[in-house]
Structure 1
Amino acid sequence: MSDLFIAAGGGGDPLGTAITAATVGRVLTGTPLGETTIATYAWERLEVDPTPGPLGAVHFADLAHHAGMPVIAPTTRPIPPAGSTLPALAADLPARLALLDPWQGLPALAEQIRRLADTGRDHVRIVDVGGDILAHGDEDTLCSPLVDALVLAACRLAGVPATVYVAGPGADGEIPQADVLDRLDGDALTPLAQDVAAVRAALSWHPSEASALFAAAVDGVRGPIRTVNHLIPLTDASARIQSATLDDALAHNTVAAHLLGVLPPTLEAAADLSAELTQIHELDRERVAAAEPSAPARAALPWTEPAAWEAIRDAAQGAPHVTLRFAALALGLTWRQIPSLRALLGARGPVLAVA
Structure 2
Amino acid sequence: MLHAALYGDGDDQAVILTYAWDRLLIDPVPGPRGPDDFTGLEPITPAVWQVPAEARPIAPAGSTLPRLAAELPHTFALIDPRQGAEGVTRQLEELIGYLEPESIDLLDVGGDALARGDEPTLKSPLADALTLAACSQVNAPIRLLIAGPGLDGELPLDDLKGTLGPLVHTFTPKDVDPISSVLEWHPSEATGMLAATARGVRGTCEVRDAGLPIPLTDEGPTVHEVDLDEALSRNELARAIMATTALDQVEALSREVCGFSEIDYERNKALWLKDQRPLNLDTETLLPQLDQFEAEARGRGITHTTFRHLTEVLNLDGTQRDALRRLLINSRPEQYAAPLWGIMAASSHHTSRTP
Contact 2:196 2:337 in 1 (8 A): no
Corresponding residue number in structure 2 for 1:296: 277
Corresponding residue number in structure 1 for 2:340: 351
Contact 2:165 2:227 in 1 (8 A): no
Contact 1:42 1:54 in 2 (8 A): yes
Corresponding residue number in structure 1 for 2:347: none
Query: Given the superposition, is the C-alpha separation of residues 309 and 134 from structure 1 closer, same or farther in structure 2, using an over 3 Å criterion?
Result: same
Cα deviations by residue, 1:152-193 (Å, 9 ceiling, x for unpaired): 111122222101111100001010011112111233311122
Q: Distance in 2 between matches of 1:201 and 1:265?
A: 39
Query: Structure 1 residue runs of 4+, over 4 Å off?
Result: none
Structure 1 gaps of 5+ residues are 1-18
Contact 1:128 1:167 in 2 (8 A): yes
Corresponding residue number in structure 1 for 2:352: none
Cα deviations by residue, 1:261-308 (Å, 9 ceiling, x for unpaired): xx011011011112211102223332333333342345x521158546
Shift of 1:309: 4.9
Structure 2 counterparts to residues 55-204 of structure 1, below 5 A: 55-68=33-46, 69-118=48-97, 119-204=99-184
**Matched residue of 1:166: which SS?**
strand
Corresponding residue number in structure 2 for 1:221: 201
Shift of 1:219: 0.7
**Matched residue of 2:92: which SS?**
helix
Q: Distance in 1 between matches of 2:264 and 2:313?
A: 27
Q: Distance in 2 between matches of 1:337 and 1:286?
A: 20
Contact 1:34 1:95 in 2 (8 A): no
Paired AA for residue 59 in structure 1:
D
**Matched residue of 1:238: which SS?**
coil
Matched, 1:54 2:32: yes
Shift of 1:41: 0.7
Structure 2 gaps of 5+ residues are 345-355
Corresponding residue number in structure 2 for 1:35: 13
Query: Given the superposition, is the C-alpha separation of residues 282 and 329 from structure 1 closer, same or farther in structure 2, using an over 3 Å criterion?
Result: closer
Q: Which of the numbers 210, 213, 221 marks the counterpart of 1:231?
A: 213
**Matched residue of 1:153: which SS?**
helix
Paired AA for residue 44 in structure 2:
H
Paired AA for residue 133 in structure 2:
A
Contact 2:110 2:152 in 1 (8 A): yes
Query: Given the superposition, is the C-alpha separation of residues 204 and 312 from structure 1 closer, same or farther in structure 2, using an over 3 Å criterion?
Result: farther
Query: Given the superposition, is the C-alpha separation of residues 130 and 294 from structure 1 closer, same or farther in structure 2, using an over 3 Å criterion?
Result: farther
Larger radius of gyration: 2
Structure 2 counterparts to residues 323-334 of structure 1, below 5 A: 323-334=306-317
Shift of 1:224: 0.7
Shift of 1:110: 0.4
Q: Distance in 1 between matches of 2:38 and 2:51?
A: 9
Q: Distance in 1 between matches of 2:324 and 2:23?
A: 20
Q: Which range is displaced more, 276-285 or 120-129?
A: 276-285
Contact 1:342 1:348 in 2 (8 A): no
Corresponding residue number in structure 1 for 2:350: none
Q: Which of the numbers 218, 236, 239 marks the counterpart of 1:254?
A: 236
Q: TM-score, normalised by structure 1?
A: 0.87
Paired AA for residue 74 in structure 1:
A
Corresponding residue number in structure 2 for 1:287: 267
Count of residue correspondences: 330
Matched, 1:320 2:295: no
Corresponding residue number in structure 2 for 1:276: 256
Matched, 1:208 2:188: yes
Q: Distance in 1 between matches of 2:196 and 2:85?
A: 34
Shift of 1:348: 5.7
Query: Given the superposition, is the C-alpha separation of residues 337 and 348 from structure 1 closer, same or farther in structure 2, using an over 3 Å criterion?
Result: farther
Shift of 1:109: 0.8
Query: Given the superposition, is the C-alpha separation of residues 109 and 74 from structure 1 closer, same or farther in structure 2, using an over 3 Å criterion?
Result: same
Paired AA for residue 231 in structure 1:
P
Cα deviations by residue, 1:26-50 (Å, 9 ceiling, x for unpaired): 4xxxx64861111111112222222
Q: Distance in 1 between matches of 2:85 and 2:156?
A: 28
Q: Distance in 2 between matches of 1:33 and 1:217?
A: 28
Corresponding residue number in structure 1 for 2:348: none
Query: Given the superposition, is the C-alpha separation of residues 327 and 245 from structure 1 closer, same or farther in structure 2, using an over 3 Å criterion?
Result: same
Contact 2:172 2:221 in 1 (8 A): no
Query: Given the superposition, is the C-alpha separation of residues 195 and 54 from structure 1 closer, same or farther in structure 2, using an over 3 Å criterion?
Result: same
Paired AA for residue 99 in structure 1:
L
Contact 1:131 1:167 in 2 (8 A): yes
Q: Distance in 2 between matches of 1:189 and 1:103?
A: 34
Q: Which range is displaced more, 213-222 or 275-284?
A: 275-284
Paired AA for residue 235 in structure 1:
T
